Amino acid sequence: MDPVRNPYAPGAGQRPPELAGRDRQLDAFDIVLERIARGRPERSVMLTGLRGVGKTVLLNQLRSAARSRGWGTGKLEARPDQGLRRPLSSALHMAVRALAVEHRNPEQVDDFLGILKAFALRATADKGMRERWNPGIDVPALSGRADSGDIEIDLVELLLEAAQLARDAGVGIALFIDELQDLGPADISAICGACHELSQDAAPLIVVGAGLPHLPAVLSASKSYSERLFSYHRIDRLDRAAADHALIAPAEREGVTYDEDALAALYRKADGYPYFVQAYGKATWDTAARDPISARDVELAAPAAEEELAVGFFGSRYERATPAEREYMRAMADLSGDDGPVSTAAVARELDRKPASLSPARDGLIKKGLIYSAERGTIGFTVPHFGRYLRGVQ
């Protein structure tokens, strides 16, 4: 097949040519947007799942849905080494700029931007630095709202002000936060507190977060009511029909078909994970000599796909780990069998170590996003089939 016409697109957060198997989440979000547009209360939304299942792609698609209704939107990616104020200020600034064009009261917009600027400036503790740093908001900062220095108080005040601005404009605001589990405890608490106030006020502002499978536990540890505060959607692998559609639809647009055995072989290889579907689909297209694509083409292409995954998807993450962390992950891999969660006590026995002595390695891996605490006393890989990859690493 012509590699220039190859329709498949494995990439971090890159939208596949056919977004298959996510209709339920898209439809549910449309209902959220419509209810808010009608002044009805709604919960903010949280997407959870392993890496490679398409959380970021879906997050971007939900953002497009909000934009299509004229909403102001902004997006940020949380990082363990960065507080919430600056990136959230930039995201909210973007959202407000989008709806300001239609707002009937420019002075009200400027007043809000002054509050937003004051909120952003509190990210810098040193007063002299605050005076020199400009968050890119071209109005004077307004004191007295969202600038107390307490992130939870300030975020509640800021988002309620933003919601009022959106209400007056007759639209809504949606803030999208990727890798939400990487926020610090104070910032997580602030997000929960602000979403609680917004839902009670039936405010036209929602937060849409995406994170690893333990995100609900992170939120619950911050605020016990978070279990009822958000609408949770677990994003998982595609079923056979959806995975087939993700392969067939782009190929048909290029005038190419698959035989049934090829689709079955691709599903076995990719195991339904959207990133793997794209990786194996891309390699198979480049290998196939003629239409229809056959199971033999899949088998011939598999080593190339696996090599790409080993370097770009698995290997890049493995290289970030220290020797002690790699030893910990190899023990997990030996125990996990089908890559499911394992007990931390079992890992300690496998390494013939005391559990407490392994805490630094375990905590380091969690911070790097390579493993997660599935539930108390258990640990799992954040990357599908990572255990299988590690069992092949010498």
Same domain, 328 and 292: no
Q: Interior CA angle at 191 toward 189 and 196, to 5°?
A: 95
User: CA 60, CA 47: separation in Å to the nearest integer?
Assistant: 12
User: CA 342, CA 146: separation in Å to the nearest integer?
Assistant: 44
Instruction: Identify which has the larger pLDDT, 339 or 208.
Output: 208
What local confidence, expressed as pLDDT, does residue 9 receive?
Answer: 87
pLDDT of 82 over the 50 cut: yes
Same domain, 249 and 385: no
What local confidence, expressed as pLDDT, does residue 129 receive?
Answer: 44
Q: Answer yes or no: are the C-beta atoms of 178 and 78 closer than 8 Å.
A: yes
pLDDT of 240 over the 50 cut: yes
CATH, residue 376: 1.10.10.10
Same domain, 74 and 141: yes
Q: What is the pLDDT of residues 378-392, one digit of tens each?
A: 999 999 999 999 988
Does a structural domain hold residue 17?
no
Q: What is the DSSP letter of 356?
A: G
Q: Answer yes or no: are the C-beta atoms of 270 and 262 closer than 8 Å.
A: no
- For strands 371-372 and 378-381, give the pairing: antiparallel
The domain tally of the chain equals 3
31 is written with which tokens? 């209902």
Instruction: Identify which has the larger pLDDT, 127 or 301.
Output: 301
CATH, residue 277: 1.10.8
Same domain, 275 and 331: no
109 is written with which tokens? 């917009």
Q: Summarize the confidence of residues 1-19 as an average pLDDT.
A: 87
Of 36, 127, 15, 81, give the one whose Cα is nearest residue 367: 81
Name the residue range of residue 370's domain.
Answer: 322-391
Residue % of the chain over a pLDDT of 90 = 79
383 is written with which tokens? 């990357």
Least confident interval from 183-187, 218-222, 371-375: 371-375
* Residue tagged 């209360």 (tokens): 41
Q: How confident is the model at residue 393 (pLDDT cuts 50, 70, 90)?
A: confident
What local confidence, expressed as pLDDT, does residue 126 receive?
Answer: 46
Q: What is the pLDDT of residues 304-355, one digit of tens each?
A: 999 999 998 999 899 999 999 999 999 999 998 766 789 999 999 999 999 9
Same domain, 207 and 253: no
Same domain, 83 and 162: yes
pLDDT of 277 over the 70 cut: yes
Last residue in a domain, options 265, 289, 317: 317
What local confidence, expressed as pLDDT, does residue 11 receive?
Answer: 80
Does a structural domain hold residue 66?
yes
Last residue in a domain, options 317, 352, 378: 317
Last residue in a domain, options 234, 269, 293: 234
Same domain, 104 and 182: yes
pLDDT of 12 over the 80 cut: no
Does a structural domain hold residue 92?
yes
Same domain, 165 and 114: yes
Q: What is the mean pLDDT of the chain?
A: 92
Residue 379 phi/psi, 5° resolution?
-145, 145
Q: What is the pLDDT of residues 99-140, one digit of tens each?
A: 887 777 888 899 999 999 999 998 875 454 444 456 678 888
110 is written with which tokens? 């400027």
CA dihedral 382, 383, 384, 389 (to 10 degrees): -130
User: CA 194, CA 233: separation in Å to the nearest integer?
Assistant: 20
User: CA 264, CA 386: separation in Å to the nearest integer?
Assistant: 22
Q: Answer yes or no: are the C-beta atoms of 103 and 165 closer than 8 Å.
A: yes
Does a structural domain hold residue 8?
no
Does a structural domain hold residue 194?
yes
CATH, residue 91: 3.40.50.300
Taking the model in full, what pTM does it have? 0.91
Same domain, 208 and 303: no
353 is written with which tokens? 């170590």
Does a structural domain hold residue 18?
no
Same domain, 230 and 302: no
pLDDT of 221 over the 60 cut: yes
Same domain, 120 and 265: no
Residue % of the chain over a pLDDT of 70 = 96
Does a structural domain hold residue 7?
no
Same domain, 46 and 188: yes
Q: What is the pLDDT of residues 168-206, one digit of tens each?
A: 989 999 999 999 999 999 999 999 999 999 999 999 999
pLDDT of 360 over the 80 cut: yes
Does a structural domain hold residue 9?
no
